[in-house]
Structure formats: C-alpha cells, structure tokens
Structure 1
C-alpha cells in the first residue's frame, strides 16, 4: 500500500515545541458512540444588572464598573498574580524548588453591550480592541518579562460570563509554553539564520493546503502539527516580533482577519464556536534590550469542537499519559474552515 496522510496513521513534528502529534485519520470513519451535550441556547441580553462586566454594575469586590462607552480595562478583583508579596528563600534542592512569582492580571471588556462580538461589531470597533491589546502589552511589557493576552470563549471553555472580554496576565517569569518556544525558535535561528515562523509562512503560502484566510498582511492556517481539531494560527506576512511592532496596515487588516475567522468558526456548526485564543511574541521587560530576531509574533486559536456543536475533543488518557493525538487531519480541517462563508450565519 502507498502511504496516504489522509488515510493512514503517522506522526507529525511540532518544531515550536519539539513535540510530536499522532495523526489517526482512519479513526474518523468509525461510528460515534461518545458523549453528546445539548447546545445551550444562548440568548444574551444587551444589559444585565447582575453582570459585573456591564457598565454601572457593582462587582463582587464592591467596586463599581464605570459607565464605559468603548473598551474598558481593570485589574482583576481576584488575580492569580500580585505585584507585591513575600518571596520564598532560594533553594538548590534538585527535587523541591520554589521561586518568586509576581505579576498582575487585568480584564479587558471589548464593548459596553453584552450581546456583541467580533462578527457584529464594526471594523473600527475591532480595531479599537486590537489597539487596546497593544496598549496593554506595551505598558505591562515595560515591567514584566511576559505579557499573556488570552480569551476563553464560551462556557465549554470555562467562561462563565457571556460579556465580550478577555484577560491579560503579566508575569515576572517566562511561563512554560513561551519558554519552550524561546528555546526552539532560537535554536532554529542559530542554525538557519532566519526566523522559523517566517520560513513557515513562506512554505504555507507555497503549499496553500492548510491556509484558511489570506490577505495582504496575514495568513491564518491550520498548523501542520495542530493538536485540536480546528486549531488555527494567525501569522504576519511581514516579520514583526511583538504585538507592539504592528503598524496601522497590519492592525486594520488583522481586525478584518479576526472578524472573518470568528465567522468561519461559528458557521461550521451554526453556534458560538468555543475556543481559547491568545498571542505570543518576543519576551519583554528586561529582555527588551536583547536580540529577539528569532521570534515572530503570532496568534493561536484552540477550539475543542470536533463533530458537532455538542461534541468536543477530550484530551485524556493517551493524550495525558503519552502524547497528543488527532483524527481529523490538519488539511481536512483547513478545507472545512476555508469553505465556510466569510460572514456569520443569521
């Protein structure tokens, strides 16, 4: 038999993380007898007086959310990281080590209304959101080595508040995911003299098999090494190392790109497609002075849905104890996304 990547099991390498993913496309043909969940009927009011993210509502901390009119940023009332606090003593024990962890956590409300999102906001409003992302990254990046902007969309991803918002956690340390990327991006650059992800963009533009969206400034692809069924990566055509490097053309085009991507996601199963998304760029803080030419700024979307609006991919068993595994190939996932309309279903 001749190997066919869309039919036969194989391993794919992720050079960003020095990891492998098991691809088992033949399993997609099996009958499904797993868990199904009835999709929640999402009827979100424009304003909810009990929702702490709505303008004028008093939060659990006793602080009143102001009557904001565009984006609104505040320090999380119950943050995972604090800027001040006692530090543990240094230890060289190879088995029991503790280090200081300091930082801050903020919430960014996209809009005063709860019933809006990227697909029904104007392009200018999405540009304003992106500019706030950049402003926060710039401000926090002066003090912290890592600024992680992320969003959990939908209850399936643990988001209990339907108001459009994201979070930003800034830390005095480099978390595990960017720490591993830092090592592998630098190793590739030292060997080849070019940024890994810019080489990857060129190869994907030549191949076109995994491209979901392409415009003048950005491409969205299902990565060759994707783990989640409809995982995507947002990459710049022109090299930038951090969000703060993006110019006006890149910002405006990114706004349109994200509107289109969210619409395509929602159109797959005619639902508010759940996901966790975030952005990775070169470290900041004390590392701003270092040469970070090996880094390319990029976005990541990790949605759990697999077969319908109620059937998700579980990362359990083999995935937890051995390595990641997927049934749907990256190429088929990209084709499904690519074929979706650019405007969200009505």
Structure 2
C-alpha cells in the first residue's frame, strides 16, 4: 500500500504513530494560524571567548571536585565529579518484593567528554577533523565501557544551551554507562525486536527506505548517514540521524563512518544555528544496541536531536496541559519543518 493512500489530510488534526516507541503524537496544523502575542525577538549574541578562567572544563582549570584539568589540546575525557551513577557491586535493598513500592540498586559509570579546548566552540563551529576525533572517542568509550560485565548500556548525550539545562557552555557531552538498559532504549529494543520477528527486516532500515522514496522529510545526507525530521516528530524541529548501512553500535564504525557522522553532525547543527540566527539549543543523544552480551540483530544505531525552539530564538515549546496529561502535540507538520531546515544554508551565519 502506498504512503499516499495511508496518510490523512495533513491540513486537519490527525495523529501519527511512532513505531519506535509504540506511541502517538497529535498533529494540529490549523493552530499555526492562531494569534501569537509572545516574544519573537532574537537575543543578543553572547561574547565568545576561547578561554574562561572560571570555567571548570577549560584546560588547566580546577574542577568543582578539586581536580585540575590537564592542558589538553584535543578531546579530554574524565569521570564525572558529581556522577549520577556509582561503580561497584550493587547493594541489595532491604524489603520484600512489592508490586506497588519497588526499588532496585543501580550501578554505573558517568564520564564527561570535552570536545575541544576552545571554550567558545560548538559542534557547528568546530572543524570536521576535530569532530571526527570526538566521534572516535565516542566509539572508544562505547567499546571500553560496554566490555565491562557490569555495564548493560552506554548512553552518550549532549545538552546544548542553558535552555536545555546545560550548566556550562564549554563544548562537551556526557556518557552514562548503566547496569540496566534505560527506559527509552529499552522501549526501542522491544519495538525493533517485535518488528524484526514479524518482518525479518529491521524497523529503522525499512523506515529509511520509505523516507528516501519520498524525500519530503529529509534534511541532508551523505554517503553513510541521513538526517531527517521523523514522520512522528514531537518537537518542532526534531531530527533523526540514521545510517544507510547496517550499524548497531559505535562499535561497528569504520573510519569512513566516523568521518561521515562528523560531516552530518556539523551540517545539521549549522542549519540549526541558521534557523533563528542563534547558537541552537538541543538535547542530542545516540541510541545503540545494549552491551549485556546478548545478540541484538534488530538494532539500528541512530541519533535523536530534540531542540525546544518553536517560533524564534527565545520562544520554546513547552510540554504542558494536554501534552502532560494526554499525549504529545505539535502544530507545524514534520514536512514543513523539514522543508524549512532543508532550505537553510550549511555555512555558518548563512
């Protein structure tokens, strides 16, 4: 059955299914015509400085925990001084099993990855060769942490900008390696497994083929990766980065994959910056197969970008009301969001 015969009238309210999460999102395109009295101005650009003596991530500076950073000139990785997870043997919690009040011990390792010594940079402003070095570290950390018997999942993520809760503008991300598979990748595992068992093919590989046929939600691509606005996107300018070949994890990367991912990340984040002429805030993270020693033939490596901005550099989307109590909802369609991103320059400030 063709996609044209299955899609609803996109100009009227409808809901779209996310097969990766097995959930729905309400799309209300008619609401874009409603009056808007909120702020739409662009904030003043922050002063760019290559070194901040008060930054606990800059080379040579003392961190909050008392340790002193080396004078690093590339990618710098260290164990988080205020980690959300702690290594060691899990302690059993006191109490009998309970269907209502249930708790389990969790162990793990949390690390910080500084992308570059220059305090003023973001992924969009870094040189491609420097981003490749970051991707290579993501691969190394996935392999090293994932090889530990007590680790079942390696979650790499970046919170970019104060609007997304980033406590420091220095270019960096975090890695949380946990003893259990977290809820989001666990839900994706179950959905991908169900699809694989039913069809004998992988969910996201088949989905990408559908997107390549239409092209209307694709933002940019290269030889190995595609960035697109997913059919089921929740956030206004949400994107999904998918591989064109079978990849289940950073552990499967070749040097060509690393260079291609670096390229697509720079091109996509530059488009984001050019959308509202501001250093674009987002939460970005990679989902990959668990590292608990089991086989996951259903898994496709991918990246999620969740940017909050809606109408301008200062107007963000809030998940409130019906969205907290009912289901997610968006006004602009994924197709119009993709068209807008696709039309932006990949040159900084363009």
For 1:245-277, what per-residue CA distance to the aligned partner results, in whole angstroms no more than 9, with x for missing partners? 011211111111111001100001000010000
Corresponding residue for residue 276 of structure 1: 283
1:19-168 aligned at under 5 Å gives the runs 19-34=23-38, 39=43, 41-84=45-88, 86-89=91-94, 91-143=96-148, 144-168=151-175
SS in 2 for 1:282: coil
Match of 2:201 in 1: 194
Alignment map for 1:243-322 (pairs within 5 Å) = 243-284=250-291, 286=292, 288=293, 290-322=294-326
| CA apart distance, 1:36 | 5.9
Instruction: State the Cα deviation string for residues 129-163 of structure 1 (Å, max 9, x = none).
Output: 10011111111111210111000000100112110
Distance 2:44 2:161 in 1: 10
- Normalising by structure 1, we get a TM-score of 0.95
Q: Which runs of 5+ in 1 are unaligned?
A: none
SS in 2 for 1:64: coil
Does the CA-based 8 Å contact 2:8-2:14 persist in structure 1? no
Say if 1:240 and 1:296, in contact at 8 Å, map to a contact too: yes
Helix, strand or coil: the match of 2:50? coil
Q: How much has 1:86 moved relative to structure 2?
A: 3.5
2:13 to 9, 30, 34: 9
Q: Is the 8 A contact 1:267 1:340 kept in 2?
A: yes
Q: TM-score, normalized by length of structure 2?
A: 0.94
Deviation at 1:91, TM superposition (A): 3.8
Cα distance in 2 between the residues matched to 1:26 and 1:187: 35
Supply the distance in 1 between the matched residues of 2:253 and 2:244 (Cα, whole angstroms): 11
1:104 Cα shift?
1.1
After superposition, where does 1:220-235 map in structure 2 within 5 Å?
220-235=227-242
Secondary structure of the 1:235 match is: strand
Q: Does 1:328 align with 2:336?
A: no
Contact 2:284 2:306 in 1 (8 A): yes
Offset of residue 118 of structure 1: 2.3
| Alignment partners' CA distance in 2, 1:39 and 1:134 | 36
Aligned to 2:3: none
RMSD value over aligned CA atoms?
1.5
Q: Matched residue of 1:130: which SS? A: helix
Cα distance in 2, alignment partners of residues 87 and 49 from structure 1: 43
Give the number of equivalent residue pairs. Answer: 341
Any idea what the Cα deviations from partners look like across 1:73-119, whole Å, max 9, x if unmatched?
00111111001363314642110111110001110000111012223
Q: Any idea what SS the aligned residue of 1:311 has?
A: coil
Could you report, residue by residue, the CA deviation over 1:199-226 in whole angstroms, capped at 9, with x for unpaired residues?
0111111110100012211111100000
